[in-house]
Amino acid sequence: MDLFTDRLRELSGSVCFDEPMKKHTTFQVGGPAEVFVTPQTVSEMASVVRLCREFGKPYFILGNGSNLLVSDEGYRGVVIHVGHAFEEIRIEESRIFAGAGAALARMAAKARDASLSGLEFASGIPGTVGGALVMNAGAYGGEMAQVVCGATVLTKNGEEKRLDRAMLQMGYRKSCILPMEYIVTEVELALEPGDKGQICLKMEELAVRRKEKQPLEYPSAGSTFKRPEGFFAGKLVMDAGLRGFSVGGACVSEKHCGFVVNKGGASATDILELCRQVRGQVLKKFGVALELEIRLLGEFEHPYS
């Protein structure tokens, strides 16, 4: 470990140890990351990845942790944070080029200000552009696959590669990024010229709907379960009589049953156990197995099943 950390410090000036992951997730839970590094350039990130692979150290790419549950024991590996150095957004006619660390809502605001339509759905999604591409984030009938036309990534060997829309293989809450172990550095989107007033109106309407229907007042990771084919996850949970059901500080939102929230003092174990019990009840009553939309990081005593 000493040799690895010495080499890592030579590559990056932003390295810390035993970093509490509750500071980096919207659930506000999670134990420490063994190593936490924030590269400042693409080449620095590539070098960190190559070093991890050289030493056989597991690593995880982190945006703003808005779709992530980290175990209470933390993560025995290297968290590579795609931070402020990757937040640049530039607009060229109807194209937007955004760094993977840019906030999705900020990119939507930039598009609005440039009278470009197509990102209204993203205005209230709390993730980063890179994370949104990885999971093909979407809301209110829109999703990233509708506007993305390409991306620049690093391969697991630290080589830069350009992917077009077809190569990204985007589907419901998925893309090729995780299976291929790519790291997104920049995303290119193609939008349509629109009326700024109408774009603003649409974004305001969606903001009102979010505030009315989503538990924004509590820490959460957004929609907890993927939408099963032919069903809505939140309705299944509600119809199973689980509105307000809790385990420790974790609770099925009373406002929207598709959200699990941290009502105060929840542990990662509480949250995952709640999800397990919800899955079991929905499976028993309706024969539908709910799949997690949130990602898990670290070791959990009881798997989600």
Residues labelled catalytic:
173, 223, 293
List 190's β-bridge partners, or say none: 95
Supply the Cα-derived Rg of the chain in whole angstroms: 20
Q: Helices 196-213 and 104-113 meet at what angle, rounded to 10?
A: 150
Cβ–Cβ < 8 Å for 29, 271: yes
Cβ–Cβ < 8 Å for 252, 242: yes
Cβ–Cβ < 8 Å for 32, 19: yes
Among candidate residues 123, 99, 127, 101, the one with its CA nearest the CA of residue 110: 123
Token digits of residue 109: 């605001």
User: Distance between CA atoms of 133 and 189, rounded to whole angstroms?
Assistant: 11
